[in-house]
Amino acid sequence: MATPFHNPSCQHCKDRFMSIFCKAEPCNLDEISDAKVCSVYRKGQVIFHEGAYPFGVYCINDGKIKLSHSGDDGREQIIRLVKAGDIMGYKALLSNERYTATATALEDSSICFIPKDLFLNILKKDASLSFEMMRILSSELRKAELKITHLAQKPVRERLAETLLFIKETYGLEPDEQTLGVRLSREEIANLVGTATESAIRLLSEFKKDGMIELEGKKIRLLDIPEIIRTANLQD
């Protein structure tokens, strides 16, 4: 499926300083760099499947990925958006269980694979790396818990506005400083918000009518961010 290619070295990875591995001790980084395998996945390709056993962690060299649960009735719930410098698949590895989510490329991406044993061994001997790992886990957990509260208490309108801001935080804006840096289908947006596709569409149209955003195919331009923030009704 995925196309392997000559490994970029971790030491010179452009996202090295944003990634967890910037905390790793240099000798461990060398070891990781030698052992990893980098592959290219095309848009839509699945990197790993919910239910499968993990054999390592993935570190995004370049690209954008969604992680999603497939709900009982088949509807998917997107639980995380992954960007360059991020790692994924660590949760299953650490708790030694199967993947609980499926990773799908949102656009063509180059992704490095680090074998399980190596990763775990280095984690065990590199205190600063494992501390960083804990920091990441804590922060993901905090975000997840906040999402639980909002899902339980906020109306779809507010959650959609919040989601737009979240996408902006994650993937940033294009050079025009307005367009969200990723193209998602309406269904994907809905699955991120946790609502029906039609509801997401309707509310996006409303946002547009209210002058908060502009829509052009899958492009979304944020015109009035302060108003979006107000709509999201954030307190924290």
Q: Give contact residues for DNA (rule: CB under 7 A).
A: 155-157, 185-187, 194-199, 201-202, 204-205, 215, 217-218
Question: Which of 43, 117, 127, 230 is the binder for a second copy (CB under 8 A)?
Answer: 127
**Could you tell me if 112 and 58 are in contact, meaning their C-beta atoms sit under 8 angstroms apart?**
yes
- The listed partner (DNA, a second copy, none) that binds 185, CB under 5 to 8 Å by sort, is DNA
Q: How far apart are CA 27 and CA 134, in angstroms?
A: 21
DSSP-derived 3-state class of residue 86: coil
Residue 6 burial (10 A CB sphere; 0-12, 13-18, 19+): exposed
| Residue 130 binds a second copy (CB under 8 A) | yes
b (16+ CB within 10 A) / e for 201-215: eebbeebeeeebbee
* In the complex, minimum distance from the CB of residue 30 to a second copy, in angstroms, rounded to a whole number: 20
* Helix (H) or strand (E) run with residue 109 in it: strand 109-115
Q: How far is the CB of 202 from DNA (least distance, A)?
A: 5
Query: 22, 194, 215, 227: which one contacts a second copy (CB under 8 A)?
Result: 194
Number of residues that bind a second copy (CB under 8 A): 47
Contact flag: residue 233 with a second copy (CB under 8 A):
yes
The region that residue 44 occupies, defined by phi over 0 for left and psi between -120 and 50 for alpha, beta otherwise, is: left
55 binds a second copy (CB under 8 A): no
Residue 120, Cα to own-chain centre: how many angstroms?
22
Using CB under 8 A as the binding rule, whether residue 185 contacts a second copy is answered as no
Contact between 208 and a second copy per CB under 8 A: no
Binding site for a second copy (CB under 8 A): 69, 71-73, 75, 77, 79, 90-92, 94-97, 100-101, 123-125, 127, 130-131, 133-135, 137-142, 144-154, 194-195, 233-235
